[in-house]
Amino acid sequence: MENLNVLTDDMLVLRYQEGDDKAFDELLARYQSKLYNYILFAVRNQELAEDIFQETFVKAIVTIQQRRYSGDGRFGAWIMRIAHNLVIDSFRQDRNENTVSNDESEIDLLNNVDLCDDNVETQMVNDQTLVDVRRLVDALPDNQREVVYMRYYQDLSFKEIAEITGVSINTALGRMRYALLGMRRLAEEHNIVLQMY
């Protein structure tokens, strides 16, 4: 039995086009967590995130089976771009609702106590700081919030962010710059002092 995890993404795509379903299973395993977390962060609704996640892979399957995929070694960026477009479409359909809630999510991406080994006081300060950062990030415009998430929570390069969002690297960098300036301004306006121990 061949070990598929040593193959490149493009090799797996070719194998899948030739009828090897296990090749697509390997692609799914490689990207499902990162992709789902991105979608969930963007839409903040578990049911909607699951729908968009499934639709993303359905579109990928159809495109690959029709032999229209030409990723040139960038399957990850390609599939993230499909998800990004579906998220944007979802926002356009739901334009009348301006607020998105994180209450339904069981995962708090910024405030995870399990990541802290320190004493109770330090943990409390860090917890409050993370809550404050989350509020600042949430207050950003969508395109800036998305870049912050992709850069700091998905550890994507600005080149990858640019490819996924369909903008130039300079635009992605500019959005990050404006996001950081906006967070600093909001922190000053609300007298938020961010300290991490």
Total domains present in the chain: 2
- What is the structure's pLDDT at 138? 84
Least confident of 10-24, 27-41, 51-65, 101-115: 101-115
State the residue range of the domain holding 50.
1-102
Q: Do residues 174 and 143 both lie within one domain? A: yes
Instruction: Report the pLDDT averaged over residues 107-127.
Output: 54
Question: 26 pLDDT exceeds 50?
Answer: yes
| Residue 84: half-sphere exposure toward Cβ, Cα within 13 Å | 20
What does residue 71 show for φ and ψ, rounded to 5 degrees? Answer: -80, -20
The mean pLDDT of 6-31, rounded to a whole number, is 91
Contacts of 26 (CB under 8 A, 6+ apart): 4, 5, 7, 12
Choose the final residue of a domain: 80, 102, 124.
102
Q: Which of 78, 102, 126 is the last residue of a domain?
A: 102
Q: Is the pLDDT of residue 53 over 60?
A: yes
**Which of the listed residues 102, 127, 159 is the one where a domain comes to its end?**
102
Q: Where does the pLDDT of residue 179 fall: very low under 50, low under 70, confident under 90, or very high at 90 and above?
A: confident
- Mean pLDDT check: name the lowest of 29-33, 109-113, 160-164, 183-187: 109-113
Residue 107: CA atoms inside 13 Å, Cβ hemisphere, count? 11
Per-residue pLDDT, 46: 93
Q: Once rounded to an integer, what is the mean pLDDT over residues 99-118?
A: 51
Mean predicted confidence (pLDDT) in 155-176:
89
Residue 65's CB: how many other CB atoms inside 10 A?
13
Average pLDDT over residues 119-130: 60
50 and 98 fall within a common domain: yes
Does one domain contain both 95 and 5? yes
**Can you say whether residue 56 is alpha, beta or left, with left for phi > 0 and alpha for psi between -120 and 50 degrees?**
alpha
